[in-house]
Amino acid sequence: MICMIFLGITIYLIRNGKLREQYAILWIILTAVMMLLSLFPSLIDFMAKQIGVSYAPSLLYLLGLISVLFILLHLTIAVSSLSARFIVLTQKIGMLEQENLALRQGNKEFAADSAVQN
């Protein structure tokens, strides 16, 4: 039931534009895995035997930690990309301000030259 509520909240956030699709895919995948493990608890036991974990519920903590690490990695990549874009935009704004200042000074000099000629 909790997984269904979480999935509903995720879809609601996507529809309202508060969560972008590229980030939502990760949340939907994690919700599907949680739902699968809650519907079929024998999967946890099977996975624990395959990995060699003696206490199967502790595997849930490991899976949760791995999920959080993937989310952190995904968000770190997004922040790095945005940081690089921010640097480029800041440089472009600086160049445009410099060009704007040069044009203003050029117009003032042009207006002064034409006033002297008249």
Q: What is the pLDDT of residue 53?
A: 87
Count Cβ neighbours within 10 Å for each residue of 40-78 and write b for 16 or more, e otherwise: eeeebeebbeeeeeeebeebeeebeeebeeeeeeeeeee
Whole-prediction pTM:
0.64
Ranges of residues in the chain whose predicted pLDDT is under 70: 109-118
What is the pLDDT, as a whole number, of residue 75?
86
